Chains A and B, each alone.
Chain A
Amino acid sequence: MEGRSTVITTRKDQVSKINKMSSKRKPIKDIYIIIISLVLIMLIWEIFGRQINPIFASYPTAIFFAFFDLMEGGTLVTAFGQSVQPLAVGYLLAAVVGIPIGLLIGRYRIVESAINIYVIAGYATPLVALIPLFVLWFGLGFGVKVAIVFTLTIFPIIINTTDGVKAVPKTMIEVGTAFVASQSAIMRKIIIPATIPHIMTGLRLGVGKAVIAMVIAEFFTSISGLGGIIINSGNNFDTAKMFVPVIILMILGVGLTALVGKLESIVAPWQDKMTKKHE
């Protein structure tokens, strides 16, 4: 029996060693594959892009030169500012308003009965359809962009926060009750920390929604910012120029999402594994 158990343990050791080795090796391999893949796609894009009429498509080097073109006059920087400011304000407002609403809906049945239907309705409705109304209310400037970003972002934040509160195990709340914690102490010391991973998921999903909302807002309202460049370049059949803000928006979305992810591991370092499960 002893012999057998040692065999089993050594085998386990080997398996864990192999796992460790492969997990160490993997990231390096991944990076190579990513680079090769990017280079290949760029090459293919460049070769085929050059064969097509520049009105219908563009190619990496043309976009690259268009980027410098736009940078020169300061157009791009100004547009970036015009876009990012309402994006940030609308997004932060959605977080500041949405998280408490989500916490209350998740925690109190009365609040849930009273307002959850509107949250579900708001999440399901294509809110883009309300933009004409928003224009009437907020005009064509900064305000309407903030309002559109806010409206499209707040619902995923609320819904994820609510889900998070509901996922808090009853026994965990009971610990608070057993130690005579008040409702507010249970909220602050148990429910909020336990819900942080879900809140972060909501915030991360919110980033994508917010960027979309911002571009749509710029299409339909003042035609400014990065969305404005897209529309104007499109109208001028300057496809290369049109791609520049598209790529910037893509980088912005990826960057902000990564930033929220980073924030998550700072705010909730204890639950890295659990949050990964939620994705």
Chain B
Amino acid sequence: MANEKVHVRQISKEFIVSSKGIEDRITALQDVSFSVQEGEIIALTGTSGCGKTTMLRIIMGLENQSSGIVEVGGKQVTGPGYDRGMIFQHAELLPWRTALENVEFGLEVKGVSPQERREAAKYYLELVGLKDAMNHRPTQLSGGMKQRVGIARALAIDPDVLLMDEPFGALDAQTRETLQDELLKIHEQTKKTIIFVTHDLDEAVLLADKVVVMFPDPGRIHEIVDINIQRPRNDVIAIKGSDEFNQKRYYIWKALKTAASSTVGV
């Protein structure tokens, strides 16, 4: 556990937005620093506009920071890489590919032989409980199933770190809970380091070891809250009834609430 997997050092990001000739400088992220130990789950949370998704995209290498450094496994991030697997908000499956072919995508691009990547894709589809839907196209899959395929696709390249951008945000409450349980199980099995963005505080506290609470204008870290709930977190019912869960959840909620009302006051 002592191994540091992801290190975010003083990341800042500025946009220049111009409308009608007036240029506006927006600070999406200001001096954001945190680190993630190997095998940990970290939640980035905060109100809209706090830059949590931007932060995740910078770690993935899909966006460039204005200043600061991101290191994954001791190597500086300069763009996307196979050490990180991205899970998108709306799964973003390729509609012309079957579930299995979608999971194969990363390996295919990487140049893995057809037989090998098929084997791997089958393994990971089974891991996310979709063995039977292997040959279904995305239009034949429910939202939850699509996101399972998205998770399998990211796992298939065997990354060190999983990056998830509000992965369950678009799902209904029941499906979301099922997939949260599923993610905890997958984490137990694979011990992947996971960084995920969420609006849902229940989700953040239930899944994460640390919750990074972010505030907007400019996007910055308010506090990093440790969640001291034992793993494996199999008994979700007991966890959600526990003092630790409810206290931490309330604590984070209060912090965000105060921040939101102070912004409205301005």
Give the interface of A toward B (CB within 8 A). Answer: 171-172, 174-182, 185, 189-190, 193-194, 196, 268, 270-271
Contacts of B62 in A (CB 8 A): 174, 177-178
In the complex, residue of chain B having the shortest beta-carbon distance to the beta carbon of A173: B92
Given contacts A180-B110, A189-B105, contact A175 B92 (CB under 8 A): yes
A176 to B86, CA, bound (A): 11
> B42-63: which have CB < 8 Å to A?
60, 62
Q: Judge whether A178 and B80 touch: CB under 8 Å.
A: yes
Q: Judge whether B92 and A179 touch: CB under 8 Å.
A: no
In the A-B complex, list the 4 residue pairs whose CB atoms are closest, starting with the nearest.
Answer: A178-B86, A179-B106, A181-B109, A193-B96
Q: A183 CB to closest chain B CB, in angstroms?
A: 12
Q: Judge whether B92 and A189 touch: CB under 8 Å.
A: no
Q: Judge whether A172 and B86 touch: CB under 8 Å.
A: no
Contacts of A175 in B (CB 8 A): 86, 88, 92, 94, 105
Q: A194 CB to closest chain B CB, in angstroms?
A: 8
A178 to B161, CA, bound (A): 13
- Mark B106-120 against chain A: 1 for CB-CB distance below 8 A, else 0: 101110000000000
Q: Does residue B81 face the partner (Cβ distance < 8 Å to A)?
A: yes
Q: Does residue B90 face the partner (Cβ distance < 8 Å to A)?
A: yes
Given contacts A177-B80, A179-B157, contact A271 B95 (CB under 8 A): yes
Which of A171, A174, A179, A268 sits near B109, CB closer than 8 Å? A179
Q: Judge whether B109 and A172 touch: CB under 8 Å.
A: no
Which of A172, A175, A177, A189 has the largest count of B CB atoms less than 10 A from its CB? A175
Which of B81, B88, B109 sits near A185, CB closer than 8 Å? B109
**Subset of 22 A-B contacts with CB under 8 Å:** A174-B88, A175-B86, A175-B94, A176-B109, A178-B60, A178-B80, A179-B86, A179-B105, A179-B106, A179-B110, A180-B79, A180-B81, A180-B82, A180-B110, A181-B109, A189-B94, A193-B94, A268-B96, A270-B95, A270-B96, A270-B139, A271-B95
Given A178-B86, A271-B95; 14 other pairs, CB 8 A cutoff: A171-B90, A172-B94, A175-B92, A175-B94, A176-B109, A177-B80, A178-B80, A178-B88, A179-B109, A180-B82, A180-B109, A189-B105, A190-B94, A270-B137
Give the interface of B toward A (CB within 8 A). Answer: 60, 62, 79-82, 86, 88, 90, 92, 94-96, 105-106, 108-110, 137, 139, 157
In the complex, residue of chain A having the shortest beta-carbon distance to the beta carbon of B139: A270
A251 to B223, CA, bound (A): 72
Q: A191 CB to closest chain B CB, in angstroms?
A: 11
Q: Judge whether A189 and B109 touch: CB under 8 Å.
A: yes
Contacts of B110 in A (CB 8 A): 179-180
Q: B134 CB to closest chain A CB, in angstroms?
A: 16
Contacts of A180 in B (CB 8 A): 79-82, 109-110
In the complex, residue of chain B having the shortest beta-carbon distance to the beta carbon of A196: B96
Q: B77 CB to closest chain A CB, in angstroms?
A: 12
A180 to B110, CA, bound (A): 8
In the complex, residue of chain A having the shortest beta-carbon distance to the beta carbon of B138: A270
Contacts of A176 in B (CB 8 A): 109
A127 to B195, CA, bound (A): 58
Q: Judge whether B88 and A171 touch: CB under 8 Å.
A: yes
A203 to B221, CA, bound (A): 53
Which of B80, B95, B139 sits near A179, CB closer than 8 Å? B80
A196 to B94, CA, bound (A): 13
A176 to B60, CA, bound (A): 13
Q: A217 CB to closest chain B CB, in angstroms?
A: 37
Q: Judge whether A271 and B92 touch: CB under 8 Å.
A: no
A171 to B137, CA, bound (A): 19
Contacts of B96 in A (CB 8 A): 193-194, 196, 268, 270-271
Which of B92, B108, B137 has the largest count of A CB atoms less than 10 A from its CB? B92
Contacts of B88 in A (CB 8 A): 171, 174-175, 178
Contacts of B81 in A (CB 8 A): 180
Which of A171, A193, A196 sits near B92, CB closer than 8 Å? A171
A271 to B62, CA, bound (A): 28
Which of B82, B90, B96, B139 has the largest count of A CB atoms less than 10 A from its CB? B96
A27 to B136, CA, bound (A): 29
A175 to B108, CA, bound (A): 13
